[in-house]
Structure formats: C-alpha cells, structure tokens
C-alpha cells in the first residue's frame, strides 16, 4: 500500500476532518507510520451526549481511536465557520474530508444537508485559499436501489437524504473542478467499509463487526430475510490505499471504492463461522423501505485514474479483522 517513499510528504501539512472516526483515524496512523515527516492535523467534533431522534450519537469521533497518535488534534465543528476559519493559518497541502453525518437512518433533511453539503462547500473554499488538494468521502448511497453494477454518472437515485447529500457533494465537486485548476479534487464513493477502529460507530458499524459480536455473545445472529442481500464489502486497508493514491490522481473526479465483487450477508456468516465456531441465524423482517439490496462497485475508472488495486477479498478481510473482533468482545459487551 505504501506507494511513496518516506521523503515524498516530508514537511507537507495534512488535514483530516473527522479524524477521530473510523476511516479518518486509520488515515492518521497510516501517515504517522509511513510518512512521519509529514505534519498531520486531526479535526473532529468528538463524541458528546447529543443524539439524533433515532437514539444514535450525533458524533462518532472517539479519542480512543487516536491513542498513540502523535500529531495535532483540534476539536471543532465543520458546521461552524469560525472553527473552520482557524484552519486557514496552517496552510495545508492536503485535506482529507471525512467528517459528515453518516447515519443513513437520520431523516432530518436540514441537519444532514447542512453538515454534509453546506460544510463541504466551506471546505472547498478554504482549500482554494490554501491551494490544498482535496480528497473527500462520498458514498455508494448515491445509487440507491438502482441496478448494479454501480457506475459513477449512471443511475444515481438515492433513497435517503444521506445519499442525496453525498450526490450533491459530488455535483459540487465537479463544478469546482471545472472552475479551478489550481487544486486537485477527488471524491471517493465508499461501498461497505469494515475493519479496525470502527467499534465506536456503535449501531452504524459494519455488519461484519455486528454479526461477529452477536455470534460471540449469543451464539446466534439476526439477518433480514433471507440473508441474500448483496453488498460490495471493502476492507479498511483498501480504502486507505484509495485515499493515498487519490493524492496524485491521473484525473480529478469521483470514483467508486469497493472490492468489485458483491457478497451476501449469508456469506459473511459462513466466513465468521470458520473463525468463531457455529452459531444460529434468525431471519427477521426488514423495517427499512430505503434499504439497498444489491450494490456492486464498478471500479474500472478507479483503477485507471488512481491505480487502485483492492487486495482484500471478504475472506482475506475477515481473516485479518477477526482477531480485533475477538479482542473487542473480550473487553466489551456489544449489543
């Protein structure tokens, strides 16, 4: 995954918004390990007592994801311009924009659009002032339940306001790409990401973690009938690879980030059983009308523009991840 020598980013200033979250914290540690001469700043609102109407926490950033991180940490809100303006003094070279309302079950349209779409415009305007390249998190939610394989620019019909907010971010990115040639802008449409440091996402963590915890705790798991819904599951190390390679794209734009193969939830269970032992599967009704039943990333353009080559199949990803799942279970009880 390390495409660059340790000197390539020496002295470069890198901002990671949402840097105490799942993907953001993994990025922070990637640069700390492979490019220790770079100056990495994490910007995150961090978890507090505030919750959405659905009971989930508004902020998923947790300091525990950053234990061992030696860079600078700033507590701030991307929706507050006074917090964002503090960043101008740093003169960043790269901005990884991971911060967002990422809970797909939140239906407060104003809140989601302010946090995702409006704040993204502010990030882009700051990037223009600093001449900073931008790599940001988009989502497979932009496709909704349209026919797979999913390809950027085709059949984009989001089923919820989260997917809509990400599609509007992508449209804005293309607008800025046309207007400004001084910086690079790359959007990454993440499919179903799983892996280390996602625990503090709670109920919005991947099904791989949730099913693993259920299996260890109860020797039984719950799946929506009949477990044959298919998703493109992508391991966190492949997502980090895509982000790093997006720092030097052959072409600005929006690209899918998946493994390029759809797998069922029953497949997840079969793989978990190999590592955790046998467990029962209870099939339940699906209460979500907007649920995506089948996603599959067309990654041909991603491979061409970013030289992205996913390495982790579902089997390899679960095998790499399962020790952390066991460790989490031994020290926490996850419902």
**Catalytic center residues:** 162, 201
Q: How far apart are CA 274 and CA 206, in angstroms?
A: 19
Kindly report the pTM of this predicted structure.
Answer: 0.94
- DSSP-derived secondary structure for 82-98: HHHHGGGGG--SEEEE-
For residue 226, is it within any domain? no
For residue 35, being part of any structural domain is answered with yes
When pLDDT is cut at 50, 70 and 90, the band that residue 334 belongs to is very low
Mean pLDDT of 28-37: 97
Asked if the structure places residue 301 within a domain, the reply is yes
Q: What is the CATH number of the domain that holds 31?
A: 3.40.50.720
In this structure, the strands spanning 13-17 and 39-44 are parallel
Q: What is the pLDDT of residues 241-300, one digit of tens each?
A: 999 999 999 999 999 999 999 999 999 999 999 999 999 999 999 887 777 789 999 999
Whether 227 maps to a domain, the answer reads: no
How far is residue 289's CA from residue 306's CA, in Å, rounded to a whole number?
Answer: 35
Q: Is residue 174 part of a domain?
A: yes
**Number of structural domains, the chain?**
1
333 assigned to some structural domain: no
| C-alpha to C-alpha distances, 16 to 152, 182, 261, 319, nearest whole angstrom | 25, 20, 29, 28
The answer to whether residue 136 scores a pLDDT higher than 80 is yes
* Residue 135: domain span: 13-196+233-259+294-310
pLDDT > 70? residue 333: no
Answer whether residue 149 shows pLDDT above 50: yes
Q: From CA 35, how far away is CA 139, in angstroms rounded?
A: 27
């Amino acid at each position: 995954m390390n495409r660059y020598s340790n000197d390539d980013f020496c002295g470069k200033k890198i901002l990671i918004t949402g840097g105490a979250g799942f993907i953001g914290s993994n990025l922070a540690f990637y640069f700390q390990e492979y490019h220790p001469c770079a100056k990495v700043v994490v910007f995150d609102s961090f978890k507090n007592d505030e919750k959405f109407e659905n009971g989930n926490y508004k902020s998923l950033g947790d300091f525990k994801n950053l234990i061992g991180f030696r860079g600078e940490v700033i507590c701030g809100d991307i929706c507050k311009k006074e917090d964002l303006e503090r960043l101008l003094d740093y003169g960043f070279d790269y901005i990884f924009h991971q911060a967002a309302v990422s809970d797909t079950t939140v239906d407060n349209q104003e809140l989601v659009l302010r946090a995702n779409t409006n704040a993204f415009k502010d990030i882009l305007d700051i990037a223009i002032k600093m001449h900073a390249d931008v790599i940001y998190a988009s989502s497979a939610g932009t496709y909704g339940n349209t026919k797979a394989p999913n390809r950027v620019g085709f059949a984009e019909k989001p089923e919820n306001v989260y997917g809509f907010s990400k599609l509007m971010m992508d449209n804005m990115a293309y607008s800025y790409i046309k207007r400004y040639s001084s910086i690079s802008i790359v959007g990454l449409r993440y499919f179903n990401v799983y892996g280390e440091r996602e625990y503090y996402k709670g109920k919005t963590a991947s099904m791989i973690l949730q099913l693993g915890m259920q299996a260890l705790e109860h020797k039984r798991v719950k799946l929506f009938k009949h477990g044959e819904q298919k998703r493109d599951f992508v391991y966190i190390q492949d997502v980090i690879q895509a982000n790093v390679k997006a720092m030097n794209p052959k072409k600005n734009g929006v690209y899918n980030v998946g493994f390029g193969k759809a797998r069922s939830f029953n497949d997840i269970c079969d793989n978990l059983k190999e590592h955790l032992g046998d467990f029962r599967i209870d099939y339940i009704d699906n209460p979500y009308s907007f649920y995506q039943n089948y996603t599959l990333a067309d990654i041909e353009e991603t491979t061409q523009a970013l030289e992205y080559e996913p390495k982790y199949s579902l089997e390899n990803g679960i095998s790499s991840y399962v020790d952390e799942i066991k460790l989490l279970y031994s020290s926490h009880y996850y419902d």
